[in-house]
Structures are given as structure tokens and as C-alpha cells.
Amino acid sequence: MNTKYQTKKEIIYADLSGKIIGILFQVYNELGYGHLEKVYQKAIAIALAKAGMKFVEQLYAPVVFEGKVVGKNYFDFLIEGVIVLEIKKGDYFVKADIDQVYRYLVTKNLKLGILAYFAPRTLHFKRVVNLRNPYIRKNS
């Protein structure tokens, strides 16, 4: 695609991710900055449940090599079985956190993750796409 902006139809899980991002802003606007990550996680869980979304918190996802567990991951949230949500408290995105979400996506063969930072002045979020997923077009 040669245009600078994608249409809503081309964005992976546009409606669901939009709802999740709305919930993140709702939590940030009500709680503000300065809480521990687990406080934000509890508030997000309450808001997701109130919105009627299905989710799992602290989902264990083993890393397997040749049939043996060689590591373990714990997703902050897996929402509707398709979007990983990882929350952080800080001022800016760190490559290691983006890589962490990407590894989660590859481990579970999921398409989309959202990395959210609860920062001093606002909430920042980044969509992370699993380019290894066979359902993602190479040219998009």
C-alpha cells in the first residue's frame, strides 16, 4: 500500500483494539500516573469485564524447543483470545519491551499485541504486529 494512512478495514482487529485502547485511556484518566503496574492491571481487568470482554490475566505461555519447555512467559492480558496486552509504567517505549510483546505473539502464533505505557503526562500505546504470522500480508 502506497498511501500514508491505512483504512480501518486494513488495520488488524481495528474495532477490538480501539475498544481496548479506549479502556486504557479510561483507566489512565481516572487513576492518573504514579501507581504500580499491578494497580493498573487490576483496574484494566475491572474495565474489561465491565465492557463484556473475555480475557485472561497473567497467562502462562511456555517456550518450547524440540518438545521441551526451555522458558516461560506470562502475558499481562490475552484479550478475546487474539490480542496480547502488555502494560508498563514509564516515560517511553523501550526496544526490549517491544521485543517482549513480539516474542509473545510468535510463541502463541497471534497477530497483534498492544504495549501500553502509563507515563507521567499521558498514556502511550504501540501496536505490535507478528509479521511471521501467515495471515498477515507481506505487502501491507
What is the residue extent of each domain of the chain?
13-129
**pLDDT averaged over every residue in the chain:** 87
- Residue found by looking up cell 502464533 in the block: 109
- Residue found by looking up cell 498514556 in the block: 123
Please state, as a whole number, how many other Cβ atoms lie within 10 Å of the Cβ of residue 14.
Answer: 13
User: Tens of pLDDT along 10-56?
Assistant: 788 999 999 999 999 999 999 999 999 999 999 999 999 999 999 99
Q: How confident is the model at residue 4 (pLDDT cuts 50, 70, 90)?
A: low
Global pTM value: 0.83
Give the whole-angstrom CA distance, residue 107 versus residue 54: 21
Q: Which CATH number fits domain 13-129: 1.10.3470, 3.30.70, 3.40.1350, 3.40.50?
A: 3.40.1350
The stretch 114-130 carries a mean pLDDT of: 94
DSSP 8-state class, residue 120? S
Give the whole-angstrom CA distance, residue 8 versus residue 12: 8
Give the whole-angstrom CA distance, residue 31 versus residue 40: 8
